[in-house]
Structure 1
């Protein structure tokens, strides 16, 4: 999947991939529809960080979730 194009579909894909990789128990609260297309690059940055690692400490997960929370509408 190419993430070069800024689209709602790509935001949905990235948010779902982040939730899956971080095994977010509160994943239902992190809906892709809560994010604006203007935040695409920030979401992609978080997505790339999450995809680059296999394991996360609790503090890393909390920091990533916090950053996503700041981007919500």
Structure 2
């Protein structure tokens, strides 16, 4: 999958993968349809960081969740 392209499908894929990896119960953190170009790049950065790790501390999960919330509010 070419995640360099800012598409709704790519944004939805990255969010689903982040939720799976962090075992997040809710998907309410962010809607792919609400992302602008800058937010897409931020989401991609978060996705790449999450995809590159096998385990997360509670504080890391909280920080990632807060960052996703920041994207939602932006």
Which sections of structure 2, spanning at least 5 residues, go unmatched? none
CA contact (8 A) 1:21 1:51 kept: yes
Shift of 1:4: 1.2
Distance of aligned partners of 1:60 and 1:34 in 2 relative to their CA distance in 1, 3 Å threshold: farther
In structure 2, how many angstroms separate the alpha carbons of the residues matched to 1:35 and 1:46? 16
TM-score (norm 2): 0.87
Q: Does 2:23 correspond to 1:23? A: yes
| Residue-pair matches, total | 72
RMSD between superposed Cα atoms in Å: 1.5
Moved more, 5-14 or 27-36: 27-36
TM-score (norm 1): 0.88
What residue number does 2:71 align with?
71
Aligned runs of 1:1-73 on 2, under 5 Å? 1-25=1-25, 27-33=26-32, 35-38=34-37, 39-73=39-73
Shift of 1:7: 0.6
In structure 2, how many angstroms separate the alpha carbons of the residues matched to 1:4 and 1:72? 20
